[in-house]
Chain A
Amino acid sequence: MNNYFPDLIGQKAVKRKLSFYIDAFNKTGVCPFLLLTGAKGLGKTEFAKSFGKNLVNEDGTKRNFLEINCSTIKNNEQFFEQIFLPLIADNEITILFDECHALPKDLTMAFLTIFNTETRTRKSFEWNEMSFEFDFKKQTFIFATTESDQIFPPLKDRLTNVDFEPYSQSELGAILRLCAPEAEITEDCLEEVSTSVRNNARNAVMRAKEISLYCGAKQKFIFTVKDFQDLCNQVSILPLGLTYTEKQILECLKKGSATLTGLAAKLGLSKTSIQKDHELYLLNKNLIEIDGKRKITSFGMEVCERLACAG
């Protein structure tokens, strides 16, 4: 199998699936409409870009790549006027609709017609007394989102789903090493650092940048556990990469279990904010549990002690 993604770590299933579509595209000139889904920071946009980089035009040149933030599209008129006519029509191009759950309703409806192609590779879309020609041998469409449940189901049915999986600790370690090539991170330190990036590849890239800056500033080439502790003190990195609000929740629950309302009152946060923003990671890391009330686990207590030591 060709290695189309030499710079990207992990996501073996995603790589296999996308490689299959690249090979198929090179033989047939056709690619399905892809939908990349998964939690934030798993590399959906990076993979979409790398995928696009491997697509070749009829004349052998690499296909251009257009990344659109869907939350800035307001309606059909704006999309066809600002994006389709100047950039897509008659051009060989790959288009990524990032955060596609935020597509406006009228464009979602238009896409239902446009992407309902069956076996044809061309589609003419009539709107506002105008005709827009889509040629799917020239134009490759990719959609990406963290909120796949918010995509209109009939549109989702027209797309081929590529689902991202969480990164393992060793994969996060590999990302850290890849993104901080000038620093030699010791094995025990790598383990420690990779637990602080919250299972998130984007965080790993950012942490690697901090390590590079630290080593650059201190004129160091080897980055050890002691250096990481020093870095944590300087840029306020808590154990397991916890945020200060999550720390507060743990400290609050250390004194006794609490209801969501009680917790919200004590912390001065809204219940939704606690549920959506703060307690998910604590639950993921098995630091708290919910059994009617919120309770701290024994591992949570242990981390609480470490937080107290960390100051």
Chain B
Amino acid sequence: MKRGRPKGYSPYIEISYEELADYVGKKTPVKVCKNWIEDLVRQANSTTKMSSVNALTEESSHEPELVKDLPKIEFELTNFNE
């Protein structure tokens, strides 16, 4: 008895974004490859798009360097006139 997938089978198909939009709304969650979306954003090189990637990869440890919060510098300010 044959088991497994036939040769040349792929679980993915290519459709246009326009066609996809006929079936899913703007806010429908879509799972995409993290590397793929990050590459796409890097190519676009746009700040607005970068922030949307942040939202997507919020919990990811591969957060882009640009938007990392800088740690606080420890200092003490003394006012000798008080």
Contact = CB atoms under 8 A, between A and B. Distances in A.
Contact of B77 (A65, A69, A82): A65
B28 interface: no
B82 to A, nearest CB: 10
Contacts of A65: 77-78, 80
Interface in A48-89: 49, 52-53, 61-69, 72-75, 77-79, 81-83, 87
B35 interface: no
A161 to B, nearest CB: 24
Q: Give the secondary structure class of B's interface.
A: loop
A82 B73 contact: yes
B74 A69 contact: yes
Interface in B35-79: 70-79
Contact of A66 (B71, B72, B75): B75
* Residue among B70, B75, B81 with most chain A CB within 10 A: B75
B73 A61 contact: no
A63 B81 CA distance: 8
Interface in A62-119: 62-69, 72-75, 77-79, 81-83, 87
A49 B79 CA distance: 11
A83 to B, nearest CB: 6
A20 B33 CA distance: 67
B70 A78 contact: yes
A61 B82 CA distance: 10
Contacts of B70: 74-75, 77-78, 81-82
Nearest to B71: A74
Contacts of A68: 73-75
Contacts of B79: 62, 64
A134 B48 CA distance: 34
Contacts of A87: 75, 77
Contacts of B75: 66-69, 83, 87
Contacts of A82: 70, 72-73
B72 A72 contact: yes
Nearest to A73: B73
A62 B81 CA distance: 6
**Closest 3 pairs (CB-CB, A-B):** A62-B80, A72-B74, A65-B78
